[in-house]
Structure formats: C-alpha cells, structure tokens
Chains A and B, each alone.
Chain A
Amino acid sequence: MNRTVVIGGGADALVAAQMLATAGREVLVIEGANAPQAEGWVPRQVLRALKLQGLELHWPDPWISVPLPGGGRLELWRDMARSAESIRRVSARDAQRWPQFCKRMARLARFLEVLYAEPPPDPLSAGFAWRARRLGGQGLEDLLRILPMPVAELLDDWFENDALKGALGGAGVLHLLQGPRSGGTAFRLLHHHVGCPPGVFRAPRSNVLELLRRLPRVELQGAAVQRVAVQAGAVAGVLLNDGRELEASMVVSSADPRRSLLEFIEPGWLDPELVRAVRHVRRRGVSARLRVQLDRSPGFGALAIAPSLDYLERAYDDAKHGGVSRQPYVEARCDEQHRLDVHIQYAAQGADCAKLGDTVLAMLSEHWGEAVPREGELLSPQELAQTEGWPEGQAHHAELALDQVLWMRPLPELARYRTPIEGLWLCGPAMHPGAGVAGAAGFNCAREILRR
C-alpha cells in the first residue's frame, strides 16, 4: 500500500499533503479536533508551488498601539512615515532613527526569509558563507552581532522611549520563557519581522488555511492518531483512536517531535541517545489566552500593554520562579465582530491562573472606552495544551531559542525533517523555520521527501 498519511490539520500539514499529492502520491490527512489558526507570513514559494490564489494577509493598521503614561497612544503603522510621526510625539530622536532602524532590520529579515523557505543550511558550507557575505559588510556584522543579543540591548542601542521599546520588545519574548534582557531575544524580533513590510514587527494572520482546505487532491479525515505502526524499522501504518488501522508506507507528522517519536512510535525503535535528546527539546508553555466578546468596537485593532522593557522583564521574573506575572504583558487583537483575542504572558506551567482573567480585564477596560464585555473565557497554558494542541502549552512546539533554530531545530539529528524510522517525517512548527511562518516547514519537508 503506497499511501501517505499526514498527521495534523495545520498549514504545515496541509502544505506538505498538497505538495505530495501534486507529485502523484495518495495522501490522507488525519486532522485532530482542534482548529489551528494560520498565523504568520506565507512564503511565496509555497504559493507558487501550490498555485494558491486569493491569499489575504491581515495586519491591523496601526499594527500595534501602546497606551502612553500621560494618556494617548503611540501608534505604529504599516506606513513608516506615519509611525515616525507618532513616535515624534514622544521622542524626536527616536522618530529620526525609526526609518534607519526599519531599514537595517528589514535587510536581516530578508536574509532569514530566504533561509526559511528551504531546509536549514549547512553553517560551515562555502555556499552559506557566500550567501551571508552578500548581506554586505554592515549587514553581516549586524547579523552576527544582533542574533545573540538581548532585545533590550538592541533597542537601547537605538531608542530612548520606553513605550516604543516595550512595544518592540514584546516581539522578542512572544511565547518564550525569557525576558527582554536574555540573550537571543533580538533574534526573535527579527523572526517575527520576516515576511512583514519594513517597520512591521508582528506576524500577519491570513486565510491560507481556508485556501489550502479548498484545494482538491487530498482526503481529510477527522480522527486522532494513537500509534504509528513500525515494521522492520519502517512505517507500516497508522492506528487511530477509534480503533481503525490504516496501512501506509509513509507518515508525515506535524505533531511535536516528542509526541511523534516517543508517543506514536513503540518504544525500542529509537536509539536511547536520540530519545534522551528529544526529551530535552525545550517547549515550556508561557502564555495564557483570554477571549472576550465586546458589545462594540474597543477603538483599537491591536493593543499592547508593555509600557517598558523593565515591565516585561518583571513580568518574566514572576514566571521564572514558577508563577504568573502580577502585571502581565498583554497583547489584544480585535476583529470586526468585536471579538478580542488577548495574548497574556507570562503564566508558568501549572501556575494558578484563577485571577489572571480579572487582572487582564481590569487592565484592558481602561483602554476600550465605552465597550462592555459580554462574555469571556481564559485559557491557561494547560488548557491551551488541550484546545490548541500546543505541547505543554508552547505554541511553537519547540521554543524558538538560538540553540533550537536553523540546523539545530528541533535537534541536529532531525533538522532535515527525516527521522531514523524509514518513512516517518516531521513537518510541524517544531521544525525549521518554526512557528510564525505558515506552511514553510511543511513545504521544506515535502521537498526533502520528494528529493529522495
């Protein structure tokens, strides 16, 4: 039986499934119960390969608003000049530096953009060196200096205004159990910048999932995978929770590596050293989510409460010691139906989130004017693990830290999407390039499969 089973219904899984089906394979997608959101930029290589048309990317405009201590808001727009205008009200110096900052960051993001739409590079190859060189002297220097930096140092180098630094610093720590003063967070700012217009540092949302689901060629089934059957070191089929057994010669899993390798596979097929390494992939959940229905528009599309880098750092301190931020970093997005989707950070795993919802509602109510909340729901990291399928509540499946990116993602042994089990491949957000780039890991994985 020459069937390929793709596990998961996210953008990565669907892109991989479509790529394989286009190449003539029989593909069955097993979707879980949770409906994943397509967050992030979609590489144009993916669009081209699948001939996807009608892609819409949504950024609120301004893409972020930050309440200012003296009233009013700092607003960052897609239009760089308009952002500079808003920044000028808090700091003329920062406004003057904004375009240059955006230009320098955009150059680095473009470099990453290329790396993200292909399997991870070999860092010691001449080809990689050559490409890095093409950034130019200044660009290469920026890249090597900025990647390991704390985002706080990067922003302190450029700007003086706390509100501006807080808004940008948030992108450095999104879904990460680190504060802005931790090394490697400047890279995160760039990661969320990839694929965005210059001056926009938040990933867009898109309709890519709908487009992918509308494509023919692939069968979708709602079910949950219990086991991947292995015979003689090769994939033989898939056992579903409802007891059905499906034969398959290939399984492409968008579940996180620990689940794919240590839960789906019978113990014993893998080298103990790899098992140990897989267990060490860090994926600590750090965020909670609040969903609120308002009766009218709150007067913002995206609002961040992160008044300064120190504020973010203190929020992190609480979670570092196992608790919930007393004053959390909050980022709220509102859609046309006045539904607020609120990202709350930090909430350490297992911490008591009982009061968090009220804390955040109280914080937000100062900023939504006359609006009245109708109903709301808070999801703790544990609940997010259930509803969203995020392992341990970690949206990125494997934390996007410098030791878990590119050729290290999620582990050097697995970085090229292959596993030691013949026919088992990995394609989820835990794989290069990681979460925030919709479909890229699936695209890269499928290309690796087809290359063979």
Chain B
Amino acid sequence: MRSFDAIIIGGGHNGLVCAAYLARAGRKVLVLERRERVGGAAMTEEVFPGFRFSVFSYVVSLLRPEIIRDLELPRHGLHILPLESTITPLENGDYLGQWNDHDQNRRELARHSLRDAEAYDEFGLMLHQMARAIKPLLGMAPPDPTSLSLANLSGMADLARHFRGLGGKRFHTLHKLLTMSSADFLDEWFENEALKATKSASGIIGTMLGPRSPGTAYVLLHHYMGELDGVFRAWGFAKGGNGSVSAAIAAAAQAAGAEIRCNAPVANVLVSRGRAKGVVLEGGEEIRAKIVVSGADPRRTFLQLVGEKHLPDEFVESIQRFRFRGSSAKVNLALGELPDFTCLPGRGAHLRGAFSISPSVAYLERAYDDAKYGEISRRPYMDIVIPSMLDPAMAPPGKHVMSIFVQYAPYHVSGGWTDARREALGDAVVDTLARYAPNLKSAILHRQVVTPADIERIVGLTEGNIFQGELSLQQMFFLRPAPSWAKYRTPLAGLYQCGAGTHPGGGVMGASGRNAARVILGAP
C-alpha cells in the first residue's frame, strides 16, 4: 500500500492551491477528486455541443496575486481577460454605465448625478485605503482571542498594532464597513439609486441578507482588492472559462510533483487512536497519509467524512450551527444571436462587459423579501456576462454563451426544489432579462438552470452555498468555521481544513488553500 505525506480531499481551487504549495515544499501529495475532473465550482464544461460554460463560478476577481506569482500560473495556462464595464439597464429605458476608463466613467456618472461623479474618486480612494488595511489579514491564520497561549496573545497584539497603525479615522471607517449595511454606507456617499444598487449588490452575493441588512458593507471592499494589486483589473474572465483557473493550478501542482486522482470519492476519513491516518474511498480502497487536508466545506468534512463520534461535542455543535443557506443560482444560455439591449442597442464595447440587473436598492430588497419567506425572487438580481464576446472559443462561430448569476434562489425554497421549480426560476430570469433585451427569448437555443440544490448535488457544496458557508460577520475570521479552530487545524490530530469554509473564505481567491499550506508547513 502506498503512503503519502498529505492527502487533499477535493480538487477545488483551494485544495489544488494547497496541494501545489505542499508539493513545492517537497511533500508527497495526493489530491482526491470525487468528480471526473478537478475544479470543484471553478470548472468549464461543454454543456451543449459547441457551447462551453463556466457552469458555476464565472469571473475572477480575487485570486491572490501572490498565488499567481508563486505558482507561476500564467506559465501553466492562466490568461485573464479584463471585463471593461458594468452596465445597469434602468426601468425607464436608460442605463447607468461604470467603465474602467476613468474619464469615460466620470462623464457617464455626471450624466446621472454631478454630485456622485464628484464623490466617486474620493470613494474609490477610501475603499482603496480600506482594502490595504484588510489585505494583511487575508494572508494570516487568524489568532484566537479566547486563547491565552503566547502565540495567540502575540497575534492579537500584532493585530491591535496593525489597526492602531491605521490611525483613528481609517480604523473608524473600517468599523463602519464591517458593521453597516451596504445601502446605508453608500447613502453617505451617493444619491443615484442605480449606482447604489449596483455597488451594494456585491455585498449580498452568496448571502441570505438584503442590501439594507447590517454586515453587507464590507464586501464592497472585495471589488477593490483585485485592483489594488495591479495584477489585473478588479473583474476578469479567464480565457477558456473558470475551469482554466483550476487547470492552471492543477498543472502547477502536478509540475511540483503532486498526484491528482479524479473519480475518487472519499467515503470517510480514517481515524485511529484519535488521529487522522488517511482516507477510505467509496470503493473501499484505503489510502494512508501522515496528514489529511479537507477542501470540503465544514459540515461535509466534520459531520460526514469524519463523524461526530471522533469530535468534541462543543465543536460539533459549532459546526451544526454554522450557516450555509445557499441563495444563488446560475442560468447559462446558449444564444443564436447577441442580446440587443433596449438601452444600448446593437453591438458595442458594452457587450464585452458585465450587465447588472439592479435598478434600485428597493428592487434588490424586494428580491430579498421573496426569498426570506422561502420563495424565488419574482424579479431577481442578476449579474450577466457574455464570455463568448471575450473568448470566441466558448461558442460556435456566430453564436454566443451567456452566464447569468441569479439571486435570490433560496436553498430552503418552500416545497423543496423540483424540476418545475427549476424551470420556474429559469422563466423568471429570462422574463426579467427580456424586459431589457427583448430579442433574448427568440435568441435562446439552450438553457441550463443551476439551483442551489444542483450546486450541492453536483459540486458538493452544502446547501449550495457558494462560499462554503455564509460570509457574515459572526462566521468570519477567528469564528470561521468554529471558534478556536479557525487556524486550519481541527480537533482531530492530523486533519486540516483548506476550503473556503475557513478564513478568509469565499470567491476564487485561493487564500484559504495557501494559508492552510503555510500552517501545515509550519510557516510563522
């Protein structure tokens, strides 16, 4: 029987990043992926003949630049194409555009509100400073404030010093970002409803919260993190779809010596004498390793793969109350022709950017209201890109693919998810979008609707939560996924976690995988 230094459960991007770092440090690593290909939720699939989709996760904005550098991802095939704009069609037939080009953006904003155009730069500068303040936290294993160990105390002291170094004003702004609702926060800066709604929409992605709910403001930062590092623009599209991000990381891991096995679903973690010794595959095969690292979400890892009996009661209780509540869906369309938006007719640069269906904060709140009581939003929030405009290889010549991120589609929909429900969601999305692009319905050749229940079934993300657990304040930093166990270690010796269910979580960021590898390798 073969033995490894480390087994990574799950070939999602975090698992692959972790594997790559461990392999580069000379460890003998095996990645076990349940499905026939790696990538988890970051994968490309030819769903309809000739039409390729980033079925789940569809843009790149947060992938840590140090990971791109360390793993030399461009050399392994990663190529990011920038998204140039975000267009918000309005109900009156007009639109609000946000462009990467500074002057164009300013002119466009001024068309709607001079005041907002004036405030925009200052707002950007403020968020830039805040992103800088947060950035060091993304790469650290969060210290545990409830522990009295020397390492934790000095970690907390470092943290206090870091925040102190920001100065009072920035610290207070950070406090506001962490505790306010995105709508309230933006109300202090802007007056245009479409601008506020489109910006606040980033704060609700993946959560069961509305833009008026406190705790949604800090996600505004995420859009500035990418920009900050100057590697690529805040939003980008990976050539070949998001599967090529995973493929590049997998190639880097393999080049460093990691072994990747697909079609190898793990049934459970092998535990003996209070220690993880390896895994048992569903076929019964046992594979042993010095350590096991799980890229699966906390509930799946601890309650399914490990089992309650091997874990302390208090910890099990923390994991049980860790909230998932997936709220996002995807609709992938194969189109015979390009959508023709009433607000910006014909072809143009705008089709190479994103479209946001978020005409007002009240619109988003109403979408949330439906979901709160277990219904699909009648008029959902949507974030739309047409990848074939950036990478023609995604669709047959002259044809196109459209990726629509949809919220809210609650996992706990009343009556449960059925085929009829799935189609109802697809209809709500297409009907809503057709109000802004009337030729859409006749342009559709094929339609794929991915509900939170589908995400759970296919990718294995509990309750279809795209962040492996809600990114709410009470589930972040040293509380992610459980108090005292946020440092990638677990109560079971030899078992580590590297998924987005750990700090900092969420998005195709890779930071959890990298941080976990650093902890395993004993980095300070």
Contacts and interface: CB of A to CB of B under 8 A. Distances in A.
B420 to A, nearest CB: 25
B416 to A, nearest CB: 19
B472 interface: yes
From A149, A157, A178, A182, residue with most partner B Cβ within 10 Å? A182
B171 interface: yes
Contacts of A124: 160, 163-164, 171
A2 to B, nearest CB: 32
A183 B175 contact: no
The bracket for how many chain B residues form the interface is: 35 or more
Contacts of A146: 474
Interface in B395-415: none
Contacts of A133: 145, 148
Contact of B180 (A145, A314, A403): A403
Contacts of A137: 146-147, 484
A97 B169 CA distance: 43
A129 interface: yes
Interface in A166-183: 178, 181-183
B340 interface: no
A38 B295 CA distance: 55
Contacts of B362: 321
Classify the interface of chain B: helix, strand, loop or mixed.
helix
Contacts of A412: 168-169, 172
Interface of B: 145-148, 156, 160, 163-164, 168-169, 171-172, 175-176, 178-181, 184, 187-188, 209, 212-216, 321, 323, 362, 365-366, 369, 372-373, 472-474, 478-479, 483-484
A245 interface: no
13 contacts: A140-B145, A145-B479, A148-B472, A182-B181, A182-B212, A183-B181, A282-B184, A314-B373, A317-B372, A402-B180, A403-B176, A407-B172, A408-B175
Interface of A: 124, 126, 129, 132-133, 137-138, 140-141, 144-146, 148-150, 153, 157, 178, 181-184, 280, 282, 310, 313-314, 317, 320-321, 401-403, 407-408, 412
A139 to B, nearest CB: 9
B474 A182 contact: no
Given A144-B479, A282-B184, A403 B175 contact: yes
A326 to B, nearest CB: 14
Contact of B188 (A140, A280, A402): A280
Contacts of A138: 146
Nearest to A276: B188
A203 B214 CA distance: 24
B175 A320 contact: no
A150 B212 CA distance: 13
Contact of B474 (A145, A310, A320): A145
A321 to B, nearest CB: 6
A181 B215 contact: no
Contacts of A145: 474, 479, 483
Contacts of B184: 282, 403
From A140, A148, A412, residue with most partner B Cβ within 10 Å? A148
Contact of B372 (A181, A321, A407): A181
Nearest to A279: B188
Given A124-B164, A145-B474, A402 B214 contact: yes
A322 to B, nearest CB: 9
A426 B373 CA distance: 43
Nearest to B164: A124
Contact of A148 (B171, B369, B473): B473
B213 A182 contact: yes
A126 B157 CA distance: 9
A388 to B, nearest CB: 24
A128 to B, nearest CB: 10
B368 to A, nearest CB: 9
A150 B207 CA distance: 13
Contacts of B148: 133
Contacts of B474: 145-146, 148-149, 153
A403 B164 contact: no
A332 B122 CA distance: 48
Contact of B214 (A129, A132, A183, A320): A183
A199 B178 CA distance: 30
Given A137-B146, A141-B146, A148-B215, A402 B179 contact: yes
Contact of B472 (A144, A157, A183, A401): A183
A153 B163 CA distance: 29
Given A129-B160, A401-B179, A412-B172, A148 B214 contact: yes
B214 A317 contact: no
A215 B79 CA distance: 77
B145 A184 contact: no
Nearest to B207: A183
A428 to B, nearest CB: 21
A374 to B, nearest CB: 40
Nearest to B188: A280
Contact of A183 (B169, B171, B213): B213
A141 B145 CA distance: 8
Contacts of B212: 178, 182, 320
Contacts of B164: 124
B152 to A, nearest CB: 11
Contact of B373 (A132, A310, A401, A403): A310
Contacts of A149: 472-474
A145 B475 CA distance: 8
A343 B478 CA distance: 39
A124 B164 CA distance: 7
From B146, B169, B188, B215, residue with most partner A Cβ within 10 Å? B146
B474 to A, nearest CB: 5
Nearest to B374: A310
A178 B215 CA distance: 12
From B145, B168, B373, B479, residue with most partner A Cβ within 10 Å? B145
A144 B323 contact: no
Given A148-B178, A403-B214, 12 more contacts: A124-B163, A124-B164, A141-B479, A141-B484, A144-B479, A149-B473, A314-B373, A317-B372, A321-B366, A401-B179, A402-B180, A402-B214
Contact of B365 (A141, A280, A321, A401): A321
A118 B334 CA distance: 63
B481 to A, nearest CB: 12
Contacts of B160: 124, 126, 129
Counting from the closest, the 8 A-B pairs by CB-CB distance are A183-B215, A148-B473, A402-B179, A183-B214, A137-B146, A412-B172, A184-B214, A403-B179
A410 B160 CA distance: 23
A321 B484 CA distance: 41
Contacts of B209: 181-183
Contacts of B163: 124
A156 to B, nearest CB: 9
A408 B214 contact: no
Contacts of A320: 212, 365
